[in-house]
Amino acid sequence: MIGKHWIFRIAVILICHHSISLQAQRRIPPAWWIDKHNWDGVTPWYHYMTISTGRLGPNALPVPYVKDGRVHENIEYEFGIQGYFNPHETTLNMYNELYVPIGKNIAVGSYIVPLELFQTDTVLRDLRKSMDHDGRGVSGGDFYLSTYIQILDDQPRLPDVLLSINTKTASGTDLDGARFTETPGYFFDLSFSKTLHGKGKLSAWRPYGMMGFYSWQTFHRTLYQNDALTYGVGSTWLFPNFSLDVNTGGMRGYFDQGDRPIVSRLTLIARKSKPVRYKILYEKGWKDFDFNSIRFSVLLSFSSPMLMTPEEWKKRKL
């Protein structure tokens, strides 16, 4: 009976979400929006919007994180508070991510921006075709699901190779405020890396690169999806008590309408051998992503039971 109740609740949530999305799409634009964008009274208002990274809120279609070619061995949960800033917008949001290795060469993960608070000026509001007159509000983000598969690992002359398969759901809200797309998408990529020995206080360093493909649904009148190449390069430096990671990644979309963003990221993580660690992420957007961003996170890290030997299990029980 419990299982049936949960199925019923999930079905109600999905139906309600779909109903709310349909109601939003059927909404009649306000008079000021009609005058500003010369609405013809026939075309659905959301067809006037451009579904791309540079024409929506900063969490709508972010540049995928550049992977480092490895399946990591620990279960990790991240909870963070993040801010995006530019002269026209301030956005504050929560961030949640879960990563679970289910074998030596495979892992699954999920992440979401469950809540964001935002304030934009009228310049950015009108560029995005937003119907939030005061440019401020609260919205909820998309849920992402990921699978990571190790193709090559610890080969003497070959790099480590990781395949990442990712699905973007349409769970986000506030399409009329140009915050999230309310459309699905998917992306996959291959990343390559090699761990090199360090010297002195540098334990090791790891250069890596990534190439992939991203496709998402749009509201274009004739082209119903946008396709983009994804790419990135970076390096991780491992020290006894912390790690430093620097990378730059981007997308190159087909439309060339805000869909070719480039983002540089710098991440500092405390590496002390405790289940609780701390992380600081700084992002600098370039083309089609004019934001500076910073995130403060707490990381909970645990050994995966599926990767533990019988001897390790005995030690944990003791």
Per-residue pLDDT for the chain (318 aa), expressed as one digit of tens each?
445 554 544 444 444 444 444 445 557 899 999 999 999 999 999 999 999 999 999 999 999 999 999 999 899 999 999 999 999 999 999 999 999 999 889 999 999 999 999 999 999 999 999 999 999 999 999 999 999 999 999 898 899 999 999 999 999 999 999 999 999 999 999 999 999 988 888 889 999 999 999 999 998 878 889 999 999 999 999 999 999 999 999 999 999 999 999 999 999 999 776 789 999 999 999 999 999 999 999 999 988 766 655 555 444 433
For domain 49-317, the CATH class is mainly beta
Where in the chain are the domains?
Answer: 49-317
In angstroms, the CA 32 to CA 290 distance is: 27
SS (H, E, C) the chain: CHHHHHHHHHHHHHHHHHHHHHHHHCCCCCHHHHHHHCCCCCCCHHHHCCCCHHHCCCCCCCCCCCCCCCCCCEEEEEEEEEEEEECCEEEEEEEEEEEEEEECCEEEEEEECCCEEEEECHHHHHHCCCCCCCCEEEECCCEEEEEEEEEECCCCCCCEEEEEEEEECCCCCCCCCCCCCCCCEEEEEEEEECCEECCCCCCEEEEEEEEEEEEEECCCCCCCEEEEEEEEEEEEEECCCEEEEEEEEEEEECCCCCCCCEEEEEEEEECCCCCEEEEEEEEEECCCCCCEEEEEEEEEEEECHHHCCHHHHHHHHC
> What integer pLDDT is reported at residue 17 of this predicted model?
44
